[in-house]
Chains A and B, each alone.
Chain A
Amino acid sequence: MLLVPCPNCGPRNASDMSYGGEPHSRPDPNTASPEQWRTYLYLRDNESGWITEKWYCSSGCRKHFKLERHTLTGELRNPPLPGNKTGGHK
């Protein structure tokens, strides 16, 4: 079980959450090349180590937030403060 520290609800089972993956900014659809769209839609960094990722507290407070997870150990850190909608680091 992965305990995800929601900034509003506290530590909650990851099954109460929806995973949002790595946050990438969406390119401008008017100017993006097919390569840029493909990169945005399908390619992930998949780093080994600390990454920033998005979570949605779907059955708790229904807020989106970012935090950091270590992809080797599963540790989670740096959830935003309550009320901070974006949060996370980077």
Chain B
Amino acid sequence: MADPPAFESPVVTIGRAAGAGSITLTDESATTKASVRAADGTPAASALGLTFGCAEARGDVLVARTRPDEWMVFGTSQAVAAHLGGLDLSGYASTVDITHSRLMFRITGLAAAKAMAKVCSIDFSDPMMPSGACVGASVAKVGCDIIRHDIDDVPSYRILCDRSFGQYLFDALVDAKAEFG
């Protein structure tokens, strides 16, 4: 099988001051992303585990249970392939590479939750949304998956959305974080 085309993000970040200030916003869309749908009781669901709404790093990949019957796996293409390669897909279970259909941004900083709260109705307080939590929610009216995965105790949120909304959402997040310097 031919290699898939190299990933090119459609999001223009240059000139958007994405990295300036105390909150950084980065486009991490090139990260390989896989979705696993698996019904209750299937071997794949048991192997991936986690409670709905939770995420954890496993070696080189990040695994998040974003729906009761859906997991997402992020990492390099080799790491994701290695993690999912041995998965038993018997029963109602399947994996799809969603690298090219979903974009991923990462917003990091002590005030990142305040910026997120401007565009999303989720409670981003630590007890409700600790590191290792994930939710599906609308961000600036775009249906997104949000995964909190802190970097050295600094709050950091990965935000995934459909590719076609990427530039709008990126610009909306730049706008939301602007007042926090």
> How many angstroms from the CA of A58 to the CA of B144 in the assembled complex?
11
A1-41 CB contact bits vs B (8 Å, 1 = yes)? 00000001100110110000000000000000000000000
CB distance from A51 to the nearest CB of B (A): 25
Q: Find out whether the CB atom of B52 lies under 8 angstroms from the CB atom of A61.
A: yes
Known: A61-B67, A63-B68, A83-B68. A16 touches B138 (CB 8 A): yes
Across the interface, A8 reaches (CB within 8 A) one of B40, B68, B138, B144, namely: B68
Does any Cβ of B come within 8 Å of A86's Cβ? no
Known: A8-B52, A8-B68, A83-B68. A62 touches B136 (CB 8 A): yes
B interface secondary structure, majority: strand
> How many angstroms from the CA of A15 to the CA of B142 in the assembled complex?
11
Q: Find out whether the CB atom of B121 lies under 8 angstroms from the CB atom of A13.
A: yes
- Chain B residues with Cβ below 8 Å from A9 are 53, 135-136
Does any Cβ of B come within 8 Å of A60's Cβ? yes
Across the interface, A59 reaches (CB within 8 A) one of B40, B52, B53, B143, namely: B143
Q: Which residue of B lies closest to A11 (CB)?
A: B123
Q: Find out whether the CB atom of A12 lies under 8 angstroms from the CB atom of B121.
A: yes
- What 8 A-B pairs have minimum CB-CB distances, sorted nearest first? A13-B121, A59-B138, A60-B136, A59-B143, A61-B67, A59-B136, A59-B137, A61-B68
A sample of 28 inter-chain contacts (CB < 8 A) reads A8-B52, A8-B68, A9-B53, A9-B135, A9-B136, A12-B137, A13-B121, A15-B121, A15-B138, A16-B121, A16-B138, A58-B143, A59-B136, A59-B137, A59-B138, A59-B143, A59-B144, A60-B135, A60-B137, A61-B52, A61-B67, A62-B67, A62-B136, A63-B68, A82-B52, A82-B68, A83-B40, A83-B68
